[in-house]
Chains A and B, each alone.
Chain A
Amino acid sequence: MSAFDFAPAIALLPFVSFLVALFGGQYLPKKGAFAGIAATAGSLILSAWVAVTVAGGETYNEALYTFTAGLDTFSLHLGILIDPLTALMLLIVSFIALLVHVFSLGYMNDEGETGLPRYYAGLGLFTASMLGFVFADNILMAFMFFELVGLCSYLLIGFNFREEGPPSAAKKAFLVTRFGDYFFLIGVVGIFVTFGTGVFAGEHSFAVMAEHAINGEVAEPIQQTLDALGVGVQTWFTILGLLVLGGVMGKSAQFPLHTWLPDAMEGPTPVSALIHAATMVAAGVYLVARMYGFYVLTPTTMAIIALVGGFTALFAATMGVVKQELKQVLAYSTISQYGYMMLALGSGGYIAAVFHLTTHAVFKALLFLGAGAVIIAMHHEENMWEMGGLKDKMPVTYWSFLAGSLALAGIVPFAGFWSKDEVLYEALIHGFGTEGGLGTVFLVAYAMGLLAVFFTGFYTFRMVYLTFHGEPRTETARKPHGVRWNVKGPLAVLGILATTIGFINLTPVKKLLGPEIDFLHKWLAGEEGSGWEALATGYHHYEGLLHDGPAHVLVGEPLGADGTLIASAAVSLGLAVAGVLAARSLYKVPEPVEHTNKLGSIKTLLMHNYYQDEYQVWLATGFTYPISRAADKFDQGVVDGVVNGISSVSLFSGSRIRKIQTGVVSNYAFFITVALVVLLVVFGIQGGWF
């Protein structure tokens, strides 16, 4: 009896809790919360068991259910792929989901919200879809669960559907991510058509087939596709990669499809925590990591991923600087942090990206749950200028929030420092080592990421000082509402983790001092000669492709190995500390004022989010709408016109010809007789009777 036999249950348990909460939530104590807690706890235990089994060197890659068997062509199936990456992500998702369920007891039940069965059903389905997405063994299954995740985010963001904001935000999240998913779907179809399979891992995976094709051994079906399209291998794989990347950019809120995420703050705060830390937004980055073997083959895609990531990191961080609402600041920090992950993936820092995904899941969940606690205390007031001085009134929240903030800002030794430093370090050394335009792109992306570190430190601590320090600025802040164990518990757990989880991958320490303590690195690389190598999803495999593949990503260390490492860490830490100190000097005063007003027109620009929404709305109303009007005209006029024209011919001729139906029997008899005579004459002439 292996742990892998129970793997489907990891996703099925939350699905069952979805059904229980949906149909029986009204009659259960706490409206279905306990079902969700039990289910996610079960998932967490099973995930841990799976992780232990994976640590023993076993992997799993099986097709479980074929729902469309193809004759002489590919089949579509559901299956499970479990390798160390999957195992890690399963742990993260089920762990965060469990804490979010517990926290919801305090945030939703204790606050007397209505419609709770619907809420817990949504959480259950959300968790189930994400877990299903994580262990999907082929890209079609991944796409299906990707869409389910999007649906659940729609349901949960729009939870308070009687108010004006949430339904609108839910629709926006749904439509913007769907815009990206549209490209993803085309990419999935393209991959199936080209490779005849969508499997992620193993000898017959599309990534391995693409690798052979790039190396010159183009298989017959792939060659046929290329001939039909008239493009080269490299070009076509780049197009496929970019199409799938469309879905990634929508879900992971990368520029320019990030606009849905700040609006998604309309949802309940625990949902925001779940969306940002573990489920929806993480799905995009996870997908790139999942098919990394395919992405490393095309340097153009790598460059685009790195550039988009670096730009998003900087771009979102600058907007976070001026926001007035607690959750808005966190929203922009999420966009920015996922930008770092994309930067790492694009610049060949696969482990750095997964590391940052892990630490970010912990500290972002912590910050959102902390923000939730503050919002409970403030009677659902979210504007930071209405807060202040909460430090002494809610110490558990303050200290855990501070741990999360230090992690987000990237201050040593908190989790975020180690992961963000590794992201930037990888981008830097690959930027110097790689020749040609790709290296330059990495360096540009690195520079943007580095600059964003300063802004991250600044906005994070502006948020901390405005919320918790100084004098209370309102009556509510003077007498905050208390929070119970179900809020403090998850915060304490996450606070400890945000402080310590960086220690799972102390690569810089290992490189400088020598002890083998880069556990995540070992985890993702796998042991030599284990069964995992056959799956071709390990870091060793990717490393080889990075070095010897078309991208030729090499390591360059201008200041020597140790010097570069120390310099990189020192620069990023220095910038982070500078940001924190700047925030401290401006906002750690009893009566802080809005210094951002001094920015003048820049502040207006930032408050309007660089007019991203405006131009996207313009694109919709000024560009897409006229086109669809024209298409509608064409449809109504030309297509319907032809159909209506044909039918009007029938109608007209029918209305004329029906006149011969007189209803008089004699006339019919006459026609019959005449027809008979004509028939006889014709037969006679044909048969030669005359």
Chain B
Amino acid sequence: MIPTQYYLLLSAAVFCIGVFGVLTRRNALVFLMSVELILNAANINLVAFSLQYGNLSGQVFSLFTMALAAAEVAVGLGIVLVLYRNFSDVDVTEATTMRW
């Protein structure tokens, strides 16, 4: 059986990739994908600990997270669409009109 630490390392790596994507990319679609990665890193954590302790709550929780992620993608894509309509682009650094 693979030790839990490996799962955690994988999760941390996926999380870092997601965060890196959020911090460096300007494309809103890549943003969404990166957020998915972050969410899935959390899912890996939940499932790994569920296995570790033999408690199914974590797996159930990760199912909820997936549903949530689906909803989030729906909303996120809607935002991306509106962004494109207003700025003719999906570059997040362009949409700065709602600051001071």
Q: Give residues in A with beta carbon < 8 Å to B.
A: 658, 661-666, 669-670, 673
Contact = CB atoms under 8 A, between A and B. Distances in A.
B99 A666 contact: no
B66 interface: no
A662 B22 contact: no
Contact of B93 (A658, A664, A673): A664
Nearest to B19: A673
A658 B100 contact: yes
B100 A669 contact: no
Contacts of B97: 663
B99 A661 contact: yes
Nearest to B34: A669
A664 B92 contact: yes
Contacts of B98: 663
B57 to A, nearest CB: 25
Given A665-B31, A666-B93, A669-B22, 15 more contacts: A661-B99, A661-B100, A662-B96, A662-B99, A663-B98, A663-B99, A664-B92, A664-B93, A665-B93, A665-B95, A666-B22, A666-B23, A669-B19, A670-B23, A673-B22
A654 to B, nearest CB: 9
A666 B92 contact: yes
A673 B16 CA distance: 11
Interface in B50-100: 92-93, 95-100
**Size band of the B side of the interface?**
10 to 19
A673 B23 contact: yes
B17 to A, nearest CB: 13
Nearest to A661: B99
9 contacts: A662-B99, A663-B99, A664-B96, A665-B92, A666-B23, A666-B92, A669-B22, A670-B23, A673-B23
Nearest to B100: A658
Interface of B: 19, 22-26, 31, 92-93, 95-100
Contacts of B100: 658, 661
Contacts, number: 31
A394 to B, nearest CB: 85
A52 to B, nearest CB: 82
A669 B28 CA distance: 13
- Most chain B beta-carbon contacts within 10 A, residue among A658, A662, A664: A664
A650 to B, nearest CB: 15
- Most chain A beta-carbon contacts within 10 A, residue among B23, B25, B31: B23
A267 B92 CA distance: 79
Nearest to A664: B93
> Which 6 residue pairs across A and B have the least CB separation, nearest first?
A663-B96, A663-B99, A665-B92, A658-B100, A669-B22, A664-B93
B26 A666 contact: yes
Nearest to A670: B23
A666 B92 CA distance: 8
Nearest to B99: A663
Contacts of B24: 666
A275 to B, nearest CB: 65
A118 B6 CA distance: 96
Contacts of A666: 22-26, 92-93
A669 B97 CA distance: 18
A656 to B, nearest CB: 11
Contact of A663 (B22, B23, B25, B95): B95
A663 B96 CA distance: 4
A665 B96 CA distance: 9
A298 B53 CA distance: 93
A664 B87 CA distance: 14
B95 to A, nearest CB: 7
Contacts of B22: 666, 669, 673
Contacts of A669: 19, 22-23
Nearest to A658: B100
A661 B98 CA distance: 10
Nearest to B92: A665
Contacts of A673: 19, 22-23
B33 to A, nearest CB: 14
Nearest to A655: B100
A670 B24 CA distance: 9
Contacts of A665: 31, 92-93, 95
A664 B19 CA distance: 16
B22 to A, nearest CB: 5
B96 to A, nearest CB: 3
A670 B93 CA distance: 13
B73 to A, nearest CB: 17
A673 B19 CA distance: 8
Contacts of B23: 666, 669-670, 673
A655 B100 CA distance: 9
B42 to A, nearest CB: 14
Contacts of B99: 661-663
A666 B22 CA distance: 7
A480 B76 CA distance: 99
Contacts of B96: 662-664
Contacts of A658: 100
A670 B20 CA distance: 10
A590 B60 CA distance: 123
A675 to B, nearest CB: 13
B47 to A, nearest CB: 23
Nearest to B31: A665
A430 B96 CA distance: 94
A663 B23 CA distance: 14
Nearest to A676: B19
A269 to B, nearest CB: 70
A664 B24 CA distance: 12
Contacts of B92: 664-666
Nearest to A673: B19
A661 B97 CA distance: 11
A673 B15 CA distance: 12
A669 B25 CA distance: 11
Contacts of A664: 92-93, 96
A167 B97 CA distance: 60
B63 to A, nearest CB: 26
A664 B96 CA distance: 6
Contacts of B26: 666
A513 B93 CA distance: 115
A663 B92 CA distance: 9
Nearest to B22: A669
A403 to B, nearest CB: 86
Nearest to A667: B93
- Most chain B beta-carbon contacts within 10 A, residue among A658, A661, A663: A663
A664 B28 CA distance: 12
A658 B98 CA distance: 13
A662 B24 CA distance: 16
Contacts of A662: 96, 99
